[in-house]
Structure 1
Amino acid sequence: MGDHTEYIAKHIDTDLRFWRRPDVDFANDKPEDDIKKMHVSDETHRVQIQDIRGQESSYTLDKNGFVYLSHEMPDLDKVSDKEHVQDTIIPLTEELVRKMSVAPPQNKHACPVLGAAERFHRTGATRTVTFVHRVRFLAADTSLLANNRAPAHDVHSDFTPTGALHYLKTVVPDEQERNRLLAGRVLIINVWRPLKTIKRDPLTVCDWSSDNIQDEGVPTRLKLLSGWNELGRYAFSPSQRWCYLNGQQPNEPLLFTQFDNSKMGKGGFTVPHTAFVDPEYSDSAARESLEIKMFAFV
């Protein structure tokens, strides 16, 4: 990965599925009823997804809520091996988050490669805790709720600030320890990595610096078998800027923020995202990707 001066960007006009802001009460529903209500309330809008290849270094977690990095991961073909994921992939991914650059590189043409210390400003995260990892591939059973492995084709964030703080109780059950951590910076980072070059169903993220994006979120609380989660659904606005990286490779992970308690005044940086249809590859083989979600404590 790198900034390519002669690259011709492939912007894509496509339909995204948004939330219609209906008056819906989820409080007394069964989990499967919640999902049905969410889909009834969908509406689609035509948007242009901007290909940012060649401009990767212009985007950062602090400014935009997402960043693409160059990072090799060994033996990605072993993602079905739970022991390999736990012993190798997750630790290396957590290390990437702890060492990654938050501020933009001084040289705007430089690609932030892990190991190039002069290009890094450490986040200061001393602790990272992965709480879920998921391999995504084509599946059709929407009744599986959060366990569904199909690419998610609706604009959403994994948490609202309320949902993130509630989930933190699961990760850090001790209230005194939790309060100590919340006195510092607490983030949820989603690390999304292709297992093969992405063609079908690429992932797009909304630039959090888009005008008023934090005001377009609609908290949606869902009951799960293990309790509840509050995720964000998003209404459409023409001011939203949607981005992706054309032909994203396995060594080009996308990191995007799903919560940042240091930016509660800016909506907590719960970055909306969704899979989308690239007409050129709509009949290609199913997308394969790995997502790892973690708390990062600074």
Structure 2
Amino acid sequence: MQADLVFWKPLDEPLEPLDFTKPGTEEKFDALERLNESRSVSVHDIRGQESSFSLDRNGFQYVDHEVSGLKDRKSDDEIKELLIPLTEELVKNVTGAYKTITFTSRVRSLAEDSSKRADNRAPAHSVHTDFTPAGALQQLTSILAKHPDAETLKSSRIMVINVWRPLKEIKKDPLAVCDWASVDTKDIVPNRMIFQAGFWNELGKLNWNGKQRWYTMEGQTPAEPLLFKQFDSKWVEEGGMTVPHSAFVDPEFVDEEARASIEIKMFAFVDE
């Protein structure tokens, strides 16, 4: 299908970090919308071809993972209580990780939400990566600051895995992921945000490139979670395998009720 995805326009010079400890930064953040540009791209339905794609080769993988009792969980806390440990085990099984550390999770169940950044519960209609390699390593430093096994964990192969799962069959606002094998890392624009002294995050925005290949799974169900990398230390020299992704509008389902999904992000440590 053809879908409109929101990219960033190419910049003439690097983007200055956004320092939210200083006045006026919220306005600068809002002004970055001037960089948005919509492009019509082909988004291919992966259903029936799932086995042709893998985390190591393409940076993403759809898996079969039925969770008993999920439909009976009503609140966000109940959903997370059930899914987080099961999702950690899933990631271990898929990646061979000996340890995982979940550092964030979010249920998205609103069609629109005026909240910004981490509090927003609506689909993110802008192509992005959750981290750049620098941002992922900064997050790792924060997570492991007081961990008793920090040095052992740091010596492992380290991945950030985002597990995106529908909470009901996806119709409105499906998720598209970009095959990492089609990404030119020069098209990823670092976007650093400073929130307080010593604490910052850096995500990536993406310039459009006609060589990019985009995929989705039509009618994705809660038993078909998507795993995709947001960092892999094995790929640091090749851009870190920070897979771009975005929600998009499917005109066939634009009038459907709001999408319900959960994303669970974790570090996965592999002994290699």
Contact 1:34 1:222 in 2 (8 A): no
Q: Is 1:135 aligned to residue 129 of structure 2?
A: no
Per the alignment, residue 86 of structure 2 pairs with 92
Q: Is 1:232 aligned to residue 201 of structure 2?
A: no
5 Å matches for 1:147-296? 147-174=119-146, 177-210=149-182, 212-224=183-195, 227-296=199-268
Q: What amino acid does structure 2 have at the position aligned with 1:33?
A: E
Q: Is 1:52 aligned to residue 46 of structure 2?
A: yes
Tell which deviates more after alignment, 18-27 or 187-196.
18-27
The Cα shift of 1:34 comes to 4.5
Contact 1:31 1:223 in 2 (8 A): no
Tell which deviates more after alignment, 222-231 or 273-282.
222-231
Alignment gaps of 5+ in structure 1 = 1-11, 101-122
Tell me which stretches of 4 or more aligned residues in structure 1 moved more than 6 Å: none
Per the alignment, residue 2 of structure 2 pairs with 13
Residue deviations 1:134-188 (CA, integer Å, cap 9, x gap): 1012253344321100100000000000000000122110489444323220000
Report the secondary structure of 2:204's partner residue.
Answer: strand
The Cα shift of 1:286 comes to 0.8
Contact 1:139 1:148 in 2 (8 A): no
Report the secondary structure of 2:7's partner residue.
Answer: strand
Per the alignment, residue 62 of structure 1 pairs with 56
| In structure 1, C-alpha distance between the alignment counterparts of 2:101 and 2:127, rounded to whole Å | 26
Residue deviations 1:60-91 (CA, integer Å, cap 9, x gap): 000000000000112223151525523x3111
Q: 1:297 aligns with which of 256, 269, 272?
A: 269
**Count of aligned pairs:** 263
Per the alignment, residue 97 of structure 2 pairs with 125
Superposition RMSD in Å = 2.0
CA spacing shift, 1:156–1:243, aligned 2, 3 Å: same
Contact 2:174 2:250 in 1 (8 A): yes
| In structure 2, C-alpha distance between the alignment counterparts of 1:52 and 1:37, rounded to whole Å | 36
Q: What amino acid does structure 1 have at the position aligned with 2:211?
A: S
| In structure 2, C-alpha distance between the alignment counterparts of 1:52 and 1:67, rounded to whole Å | 10
The Cα shift of 1:57 comes to 0.3
Q: 2:34 aligns with which of 40, 43, 46?
A: 40
Contact 1:154 1:275 in 2 (8 A): yes
Q: What amino acid does structure 1 have at the position aligned with 2:9?
A: R
The sequence identity of aligned pairs, in percent, is 50
| In structure 1, C-alpha distance between the alignment counterparts of 2:162 and 2:74, rounded to whole Å | 17
